[in-house]
Amino acid sequence: MAEDAMKGPAEVGVLLGSASDLDRVSPALETLQEFGIPYEVAVISAHRTPELVSRYASSARGRGIKVIIAAAGLSAALPGAVAALVDLPVIGLPVGAGALKGVDALLSMAQMPPGVPVATVGIDAAKNASLLAVRILGVYDQSLSEKLTRYRESQAEETLRKGDLVGAKGLPQWQRV
Ligand code: RP5
């Protein structure tokens, strides 16, 4: 399904609280690429570069950004800070860094106050963050929605194929009905 090139202006903004988050965010970038979604990456920090966060959020919609994925670790304020400044869907991706291995970031993102939603995925669940972004975009894009259906179907086939390998080990098997 991989697309050769991503055309047009970025539709998804992928924000990293630090350059050190990149490795854990990479699966999200790969998935966006796979679905042919144009994206942009910005390293901006709610705590270290708050002014830049404000500038990013206030310009995002005007530049054609439709969904924002914000990844951060530790006391992760980035997705909440962005969601406070712009009425776009914000997906929080807690990065499994630091002494608490991402539990701190997960709770910071999930426990937003009423009125400022952040759709938080699991710790280091970069792939799910991007698939959620694709699903949001797919609501308004029939061909994207069809790609998502094919993706789901191929995932099911892969699961069954691996299940057959377990069956080949001679274990008593449930016969599918
Ligand atoms: C967070 O602090 C970043 O998102 C990163 O996960 C963590 C550590 O940042 P560095 O000290 O590596 O820049 O704000």
The pLDDT of residue 3: 46
Q: Is 20 in the pocket of ligand 1 (CB under 6 A)?
A: yes
The pLDDT of residue 2: 45
Pinpoint the alpha helices (H) of 40-141.
Answer: 50-60, 78-83, 103-110, 126-138
Average of pLDDT values for 136-157?
A: 97
Compute the distance between CA of residue 140 and CA of residue 132 in angstroms, rounded to an integer: 14
Mean of all residue pLDDT scores within the chain: 95
Q: Is 72 in the pocket of ligand 1 (CB under 6 A)?
A: yes
pLDDT, tens only, 40-56: 999 999 999 999 999 99
pLDDT, tens only, 67-79: 999 999 999 999 9
CA of 53 to the centre of ligand 1 (A): 15
Q: Residue 58 CA to chain centroid, in angstroms? A: 21
The pLDDT of residue 6: 67
CA of 72 to the centre of ligand 1 (A): 7
The pLDDT of residue 4: 41
Q: Among residues of the chain, what percentage have pLDDT more than 90?
A: 87
Q: Is 17 in the pocket of ligand 1 (CB under 6 A)?
A: yes
CA of 49 to the centre of ligand 1 (A): 12
The pLDDT of residue 1: 46
Residue 133 has pLDDT above 60, yes or no: yes
**Closest to 81 in 3D by CA, of 107, 133, 129, 45:** 45
